A and B are shown apart, each in its own frame.
Chain A
Amino acid sequence: MNLQLRPALVSFLGLSVLTGLAYPLALTGLARTFFPHQAGGSLLRMDGKVIGSTLIGQAFTDPRDFWGRPSATSPGPYNAAASGASNLAPSSPALAEAVAARIAVLRAADPAAKGPVPVDLVTASGSGLDPDISPAAAIFQVPRVAKTRGLDEARVRELVARHIEGPQFGVLGEPRVNVLALNRDLDAMR
């Protein structure tokens, strides 16, 4: 058995250096060279300051903004330093209460809104950092946003349409609207 001690130690050290240092460091170098924007977190800058990442959602609560999906991160929503889901069971009374409360808030913010609420707008995402909502969830909020901002509904609707990103290659994933990008363009509208 002593015979195996040297190969065990050397292989562990050798493979550790190879896969734990050389590989990730080489990849970091290559990533920075070829995909610096993505490798660094797809950061958005304004006037030299980082204002967020296109991939990470933010907590929008102002009725003048489009709202993203509920987030279950703690201590507050959209905590990008502690991702996580609600982990509430489908049968959990806490889930039913939370969804009912969210629907009530949406209805209160826009009593004129018709039809059922798109489910993605009242359920927490897996990461708590979901940057997207469905096109239906964006359209649902158009009357509220247009009214509070004093904008023409048709123009806001048009802005939403411009922000719809289809499934990747036409097949993969869901059509979606990036909430941060949508709200930034909304702010630029007069």
Chain B
Amino acid sequence: MSHAWTQNILFLLLLLALAPPLGAFMAKVLEGERTFLHPVLGSLERGLLRLMGVQPDQEMGWAAYGWSITLLKLLGLGAVFLLMRTQAWLPLNPEHLGNVPADLSLNTAVSFATNTNWQAYAGETALSYLTQMLGLTVQNFLSAATGLAVLAALVRGIQRRSASGLGNAWVDVVRSVVYILLPLSFVFALVLVSQGVIQTLAPYVHTASGQVLALGPAASQVAIKMLGTNGGGFFGANAAHPFENSTPLSNFLQTLAILLIPAALCLTFGRMVKDRRQGWALLAGMTLMFVGALAVCTHAEVSGNPVLTRLGASQVASREPGLEQPGGNMEGKELRFGPGPSALWATATTAASSGSTNAALDSFTPLGGLVPLWLIQLGEVVFGGVGSGLYGMLMFALVAVFIGGLMVGRTPEYLGKKVEAFEMKMASLAILLPCAAVLLGTAASVLVPSAVASMSNPGPHGFSQVLYAWSSAANNNGSAFGGLAANTRFYDLGLATAMLLGRFGVIWPVLALAGSLVRKKHTPEGPGTLPTHTPLFVGVLVGVVLLVGALTFIPALALGPVAEQLALR
């Protein structure tokens, strides 16, 4: 078995082993039960809620819930924008970096508030330590916490009968941060520091030979950036930077951190709806799609670039003692990771809404780059973002039971709730809005000369760069074919709009749907009910996801990566 696959299998085993205990723990937190962390952190939660004037049992309807989340995001957006515009006059700026221009500040503020973490700047040359900590690190926590909160609201909508409340947004956000995200990040960050990830407030170091080493409080941000499927790098090179991802172990753990919470949330869902098989069915569907994508990407990157072989470079992996080499497509990749773990990261980061990268996706082989691009376009429901992945997948589950219902001619239902016209409208909106933003944005970009000028590679690959940018923004991923010169007014503002649409255009329909479901009575299972925990349903679900993704995007993909792959020899 190849070296790459040994690591891939180890990764999958560890992920599936860690998901059940974490899933159970998160279910307890979201349902307000006591956990082993309550004796330590309980007073922090109670203190925060008391300051806010929130009673833990105060229920919210879907509109109040949505408004609370939106308000919190807008505050975050404003705070990041202000910090970036004033950082030159604020403390913790040892390199005296100037204020960030308005377009770029707005793009970045939107990007971090929407869990996209698209980066049109490089951290080490643009942002002060204070902006990184108080601006971006905070948004990393809050965007993940709001994802968890919206998911919790949707699950309550499914689980509760003839009710109206979906829980309390503030309680969900505070508990998510205090019991889940903060403790996990703290421990993880310390492990990363032990591997060499930096954590310091000292100014940049100037070496005797004149090299300037950019430093900063990186580990604290990297930990939540990975766990919260945020993905915004502390440095321009993101997780390819040795100070952000120093060893093969730090790389392996960071890759695991991308999918850890999203995978575990499937099982949290199973517990919350009191039918664990439902959670396992969703997890099985996601894992199936993930393994398929991983196989294609790994194969493409390990095989390398035929052009370089012709020029006289050896791309054949070797483990002959003393003469080892990774081989494969090494342009844009770090030697300590090699092509296998770089492909694993690329697959995980786009299956989820992370968007972090440990290699330059722009330099991936066309087929290897198609995998992350298409995973994003599927709506990041293969594990997906913290919270957002599962609520996205649940939209597809509703479509799947709807299609199943059409086949047998009965009113479809999901977990005892009838799925009717309103639910289907909301699910379709949540699925189709990002798709529309991707295709319309790409179409607009190839018509605007200044947007075409931003392409850095010729031919079909230039088109792929633009398609990738819009896919990434509208689905809140944040990774990029980095050669695209995206810090222009057209892209800063256009992509910011797509990011907002991709976040709020999904959150609001999801919450409206939850608000409708929560009112419904429970329909007992009948002989015509499509069970949603069987291999048959997993097959239908995977089929629906792939079908929507294929029908929507294959024409565009054919013009980009497919055309490039066919021309490459």
A interface list, Cβ under 8 A from B: 1, 4-12, 14-16, 18-21, 23-24, 26-28, 30-32, 34-35, 38-43, 46, 49-53, 55-56, 58, 69, 78-93, 95-96, 99-100, 103, 115-120, 122-137, 139, 160-161, 164, 167-169, 171-176
Question: Measured between alpha carbons, how far is A121 from B507 in the docked complex, in Å?
Answer: 47
Could you tell me if A7 and B54 are in contact, using CB atoms closer than 8 angstroms? Answer: yes
Cβ of B157 to closest chain A Cβ, rounded Å: 20
Give the total of B residues in contact with A, Cβ under 8 Å. 129
Contact of B52 among A11, A27, A31, A103 (CB under 8 A): A11
Contacts A8-B71, A128-B237, A130-B335 given; does A90 touch B219 at CB 8 Å: no
Question: Measured between alpha carbons, how far is A89 from B141 in the docked complex, in Å?
Answer: 34
Chain B residues within an 8 Å CB radius of A168: 247-249
Contacts A1-B67, A8-B71, A125-B240 given; does A81 touch B204 at CB 8 Å: yes
**Chief secondary structure at chain A's binding surface:** mixed
Could you tell me if A130 and B325 are in contact, using CB atoms closer than 8 angstroms? Answer: no
Could you tell me if A119 and B327 are in contact, using CB atoms closer than 8 angstroms? Answer: yes
Assess whether B76 is interfacial by the CB under 8 Å rule: yes
Question: Measured between alpha carbons, how far is A92 from B327 in the docked complex, in Å?
Answer: 20
Could you tell me if B209 and A52 are in contact, using CB atoms closer than 8 angstroms? Answer: yes
Assess whether B246 is interfacial by the CB under 8 Å rule: yes
Q: Report 5 cross-chain contacts, Cβ distance below 8 Å, ordered by A residue.
A: A15-B174, A19-B142, A27-B219, A91-B564, A119-B326
Chain B residues within an 8 Å CB radius of A161: 322
Question: Measured between alpha carbons, how far is A28 from B200 in the docked complex, in Å?
Answer: 6
Assess whether B220 is interfacial by the CB under 8 Å rule: yes
Could you tell me if B133 and A24 are in contact, using CB atoms closer than 8 angstroms? Answer: yes
Could you tell me if A5 and B71 are in contact, using CB atoms closer than 8 angstroms? Answer: yes
Question: Measured between alpha carbons, how far is A31 from B193 in the docked complex, in Å?
Answer: 7
Q: Which partner residue on chain B sits nearest A7 by CB separation?
A: B52
Could you tell me if A164 and B324 are in contact, using CB atoms closer than 8 angstroms? Answer: yes
Cβ of A73 to closest chain B Cβ, rounded Å: 9
Told that A19-B182, A129-B241 touch, could you supply 15 new A-B pairs with CB distance under 8 A? A4-B67, A15-B138, A18-B48, A27-B186, A28-B199, A42-B246, A50-B208, A89-B362, A90-B307, A91-B461, A118-B325, A120-B330, A127-B240, A173-B248, A173-B249
Could you tell me if B200 and A41 are in contact, using CB atoms closer than 8 angstroms? Answer: yes
Contacts A28-B199, A28-B217, A88-B483 given; does A96 touch B311 at CB 8 Å: yes
Could you tell me if A18 and B182 are in contact, using CB atoms closer than 8 angstroms? Answer: yes
Could you tell me if A88 and B323 are in contact, using CB atoms closer than 8 angstroms? Answer: no
Assess whether B547 is interfacial by the CB under 8 Å rule: no
Chain A residues within an 8 Å CB radius of B322: 135, 139, 160-161, 164
Question: Measured between alpha carbons, how far is A55 from B192 in the docked complex, in Å?
Answer: 14
Question: Measured between alpha carbons, how far is A127 from B201 in the docked complex, in Å?
Answer: 22
Q: Which partner residue on chain A sits nearest B251 by CB separation?
A: A173
Could you tell me if A20 and B134 are in contact, using CB atoms closer than 8 angstroms? Answer: yes
Contact of B326 among A91, A103, A134 (CB under 8 A): A134
Contacts A10-B53, A41-B243 given; does A20 touch B138 at CB 8 Å: yes
Could you tell me if B133 and A20 are in contact, using CB atoms closer than 8 angstroms? Answer: yes
Could you tell me if B312 and A119 are in contact, using CB atoms closer than 8 angstroms? Answer: no
Cβ of B338 to closest chain A Cβ, rounded Å: 4
Question: Measured between alpha carbons, how far is A72 from B518 in the docked complex, in Å?
Answer: 55
Cβ of A61 to closest chain B Cβ, rounded Å: 12
Assess whether B214 is interfacial by the CB under 8 Å rule: yes
Question: Measured between alpha carbons, how far is A137 from B338 in the docked complex, in Å?
Answer: 14
Could you tell me if A90 and B363 are in contact, using CB atoms closer than 8 angstroms? Answer: yes
Could you tell me if B137 and A20 are in contact, using CB atoms closer than 8 angstroms? Answer: yes
Question: Measured between alpha carbons, how far is A93 from B72 in the docked complex, in Å?
Answer: 48
The residues in B between 338 and 364 inclusive whose CB is less than 8 angstroms from any CB of A are: 338, 341-342, 357-360, 362-364
Assess whether B190 is interfacial by the CB under 8 Å rule: yes
Could you tell me if A135 and B193 are in contact, using CB atoms closer than 8 angstroms? Answer: no
Chain A residues within an 8 Å CB radius of B190: 27, 30-31, 34-35
Could you tell me if A16 and B324 are in contact, using CB atoms closer than 8 angstroms? Answer: no
Could you tell me if B198 and A86 are in contact, using CB atoms closer than 8 angstroms? Answer: no
Chain A residues within an 8 Å CB radius of B568: 90-91
Could you tell me if A132 and B170 are in contact, using CB atoms closer than 8 angstroms? Answer: no
Contact of A38 among B177, B197, B332 (CB under 8 A): B197
Chain A residues within an 8 Å CB radius of B25: none
Chain B residues within an 8 Å CB radius of A82: 122, 124-125, 214, 236
Contacts A81-B214, A136-B325 given; does A174 touch B337 at CB 8 Å: yes
Cβ of B242 to closest chain A Cβ, rounded Å: 4
Q: Which partner residue on chain A sits nearest B213 by CB separation?
A: A80
Cβ of B565 to closest chain A Cβ, rounded Å: 9
Question: Measured between alpha carbons, how far is A95 from B564 in the docked complex, in Å?
Answer: 15
Chain B residues within an 8 Å CB radius of A53: 205, 213, 242-243
Assess whether B235 is interfacial by the CB under 8 Å rule: yes
Chain B residues within an 8 Å CB radius of A23: 137, 182, 185-186, 220
Could you tell me if A69 and B335 are in contact, using CB atoms closer than 8 angstroms? Answer: yes
Question: Measured between alpha carbons, how far is A9 from B214 in the docked complex, in Å?
Answer: 34
Could you tell me if A85 and B247 are in contact, using CB atoms closer than 8 angstroms? Answer: no
Chain B residues within an 8 Å CB radius of A115: 314
Could you tell me if A117 and B185 are in contact, using CB atoms closer than 8 angstroms? Answer: no
Cβ of B462 to closest chain A Cβ, rounded Å: 8
Contacts A23-B186, A90-B568 given; does A127 touch B311 at CB 8 Å: no
Question: Measured between alpha carbons, how far is A10 from B200 in the docked complex, in Å?
Answer: 29
Cβ of A135 to closest chain B Cβ, rounded Å: 5
Cβ of A126 to closest chain B Cβ, rounded Å: 3
Cβ of A181 to closest chain B Cβ, rounded Å: 14
